Chains A and B, each alone.
Chain A
């Protein structure tokens, strides 16, 4: 690009490093202790990138955990240096950064979704969501759905777990003996789910270029539409005021205050004309959103000042950003792309975990 010389240096070159792998990056998480990132690939490999080695990617450790694509990754609620991974090889596995592996589940359907709290693990295969204790050893219940589960999320207190599926979402009480489900109905195919940090609303992505939401206090429906592309990534801002989404050639933010999002226009920041946003992630402690784009560009956007910090400049048609995450306190960030690039950078040296 002609203006390369004028652009500020991206943070990845000054504050971190990246490494190219052969397989597309399909999942990403930080360990609970915040000392490492774990990256899942389409070939079933797990890459461990310790923060201490953020500038020496050649030292990152690759473990072959699954025989097929890793579909979902999460920190482990018990072992603070381990992660949980679900895969198209139909397994759920715990892997420590040392490489030690424990198989927690082996079935006949892809393990496609995973969510954890400090006390529970929930994962789905086909139409079932299985709820286990935090050790992952004990099955508490298996909850059946009318169609495949496409997303799982716990509320902030871990009392309820929500699933997305065809024709709506379901809410289950984690500790209830009776499996009384609250059904949130909306016709159509729901493909992913997010929950408001204060438990005010549930929002799903849809097969169409729409979002659908339910206000949890009264079940009121909320429709958020107008996207040029399917929304594949969504995340609420830290305080729940904004819902950040992909699906346009800008970061799209829906207001969840002052009566919104109903009847309100979304805010659009960081427009890259004709280049679509593919991945969003809210910073855990600041009102900032990281947005990844289909050419590999990643920007960190401060919501109050609207300042934009370039993390990485993209330059490829086949390097869409698929994953972005932060450590629990937000001191470090990692990303992965469809082309197989993985990057780690330290944002705040005072908070490395």
Chain B
């Protein structure tokens, strides 16, 4: 029996964006990997897969009394059962309904002990409909949150709009989530290695491929959701970092949709990957940096009411 953690991909996207098409694409592609899939409705899914499980959407507040710290009870039960047979598949895909908030799904992997031991949140993939997204964003706060939570965005139906429109859409997405990886697609046709098994979570690769990581200073207009990132080449003091991030998540957690970072701590060869959803944080050492890679600690916050100078000063004060 493998002791490796099973990667979990959370698939979100507004109604009609193309989630099911993407799921069908993933399940039918010849990649030699087997996925267990949790969906809310069997509906259009025409794939014969004995590991497809029907899920409820029971959202539970956790016991700390914070309304933002929600988890999915059905997900804990179903994944708990699936993970006992984890040698039978290579990954798990959780499809959420079009109106769902991805937070309770993502937080479940941080909070449940059994899931933390056996599974890891690989990436949140949000499918976005290039034709309708601008209207949807104006009308639906859920769609803003789905983009804010994403590690990877599949910008779908790009064959139905022109380049100018695509650029406007991309710019709008970047206002919310400046550092997300965006893949353009039509009929959800994307190279699967671009979206699956991204390694812990996508920040690692997102940061490598994001030349404007530090220069981007776009401002959010969607419910005030925006992203801010900071970097420093000086090694960080682990204790100082924990003493700083803990209270930030405690106080501003409801406003922080996601926070992610790759950190170099003083005296540690390995990089530390940190991620948080609202008030819940998780992290792990993910191996030494690659040859030629800059030893730089980077962190990004996506949320509302973020105070850039305050966050920057706090992060820089974590230097050892």
Contact = CB atoms under 8 A, between A and B. Distances in A.
Nearest to B112: A207
Interface in B140-173: none
B135 interface: no
B56 A188 contact: no
Interface in B2-42: 3
Contact count band on A: 20 to 34
20 contacts: A24-B84, A26-B84, A42-B85, A71-B81, A112-B77, A147-B73, A148-B73, A148-B77, A166-B60, A188-B61, A188-B62, A189-B76, A206-B63, A207-B62, A207-B73, A208-B62, A209-B113, A210-B63, A230-B114, A318-B3
B63 A187 contact: yes
Nearest to A24: B84
Interface string B68-88: 000101101100010011000
A158 B65 CA distance: 36
Interface SS of chain A: loop
Contact of B63 (A69, A188, A317): A188
A229 interface: yes
Contacts of A206: 63
A323 B60 CA distance: 28
A188 B112 CA distance: 13
Contacts of A112: 77
A255 interface: no
B58 A147 contact: yes
A228 to B, nearest CB: 10
A45 interface: no
Given A207-B62, A207-B63, A229-B113, A88 B81 contact: yes
A130 B114 CA distance: 29
A187 B114 contact: no
Interface residues of B, number: 22
A147 to B, nearest CB: 6
Contacts of B60: 147, 166, 188-189, 207
Interface in A6-39: 24, 26
A213 B85 CA distance: 33
A166 B63 CA distance: 11
Interface string A218-261: 00000000000110000000000000000000000000000000
B1 interface: yes
A26 B83 CA distance: 13
Contacts of B111: 207
A148 B58 contact: yes
A57 interface: no
Interface of B: 1, 3, 54, 56, 58, 60-63, 65, 71, 73-74, 76-77, 81, 84-85, 111-114
Point out which of A112, A147, A230, A338 has the most chain B C-beta atoms below 10 A from its C-beta.
Answer: A147
A148 B113 contact: no
B308 to A, nearest CB: 35
A199 interface: no
A197 interface: no
A126 interface: yes
Contacts of A108: 54
Given A166-B58, A187-B61, A148 B74 contact: yes
Contacts of B76: 189, 207
Contacts of B84: 24, 26, 42, 69, 338
B1 A318 contact: yes
A317 B85 contact: no
A240 B218 CA distance: 64
B63 A230 contact: no
Interface string A144-159: 0001101000000000
Contacts of B61: 187-188
A189 B113 CA distance: 14
A8 to B, nearest CB: 30
Given A24-B85, A42-B85, A189 B73 contact: yes
B66 to A, nearest CB: 12
Contacts of B63: 187-189, 206-208, 210
A200 B114 CA distance: 31
A209 B85 CA distance: 24
B85 A166 contact: no
Given A187-B63, A207-B76, A208-B63, A317 B81 contact: no
A332 B114 CA distance: 31
A190 B99 CA distance: 27
B113 A230 contact: yes
A148 B56 contact: yes
B3 A166 contact: no
Nearest to A319: B1
A103 B84 CA distance: 26
B81 A69 contact: yes
Contacts of A189: 60, 62-63, 71, 73, 76
A229 B81 CA distance: 18
Interface in A138-183: 147-148, 150, 166
Q: Which 6 A-B pairs have the closest CB atoms?
A: A188-B63, A318-B1, A189-B60, A230-B113, A208-B63, A24-B84
Most buried by B among A69, A112, A207, A230: A207
Given A188-B61, A207-B111, 8 more contacts: A69-B84, A112-B77, A188-B60, A189-B60, A189-B71, A207-B63, A210-B63, A230-B113
